[in-house]
Amino acid sequence: MQLHSDIKPISWLKNNAKQLIETVAETGNPMVITQNGEAKAVVMNVKAYDQMQESLALLRMLADSAHDVEAGQLRDSDAVFADIRTMIAEKRNGRG
């Protein structure tokens, strides 16, 4: 992110909302909106937002997995794969 060109005051936003949306959509770069000199909001395009949400979900799953390992809540890989095979078979047979 090029912060020198991607920070705009709220007064600029009020007069240039359409340009802001077009720029963010085209470049993929987020834009920081300031109020009284402080960063108050970030505007980003939908694709970047979706990617960020997917990344956060993966990080949460990793954190949950790490907690499970620390708590000793582990399953044998053979049992996990057996469950997966069962789920697939049930889907194929119209039960899932």
Structural domain boundaries in the chain: 1-44, 46-96
Region 7-19: mean pLDDT is 95
CATH topology of domain 1-44: YefM-like fold (3.40.1620)
Contact of 34 with 8, CB cutoff 8 Å:
yes
CA distance 79 to 73: 14
Is pLDDT at 6 greater than 60 in this prediction?
yes
Q: How much of the chain exceeds pLDDT 70, in percent?
A: 93
Q: What is the pTM of this model?
A: 0.62
CA distance 74 to 87: 20
User: Over the stretch 23-75, which tens digit does the pLDDT of each residue have?
Assistant: 999 999 999 999 999 999 999 999 999 999 999 999 999 999 999 899 999 98
Alpha helices (H) along 1-96: 10-27, 46-70, 77-92
Q: How confident is the model at residue 94 (pLDDT cuts 50, 70, 90)?
A: confident
For β-strands 7-9 and 38-43, DSSP reports them as unpaired
Quote the pLDDT of residue 15.
95
Specify whether the backbone of 20 is left (phi greater than 0), alpha (psi in -120 to 50) or beta.
alpha
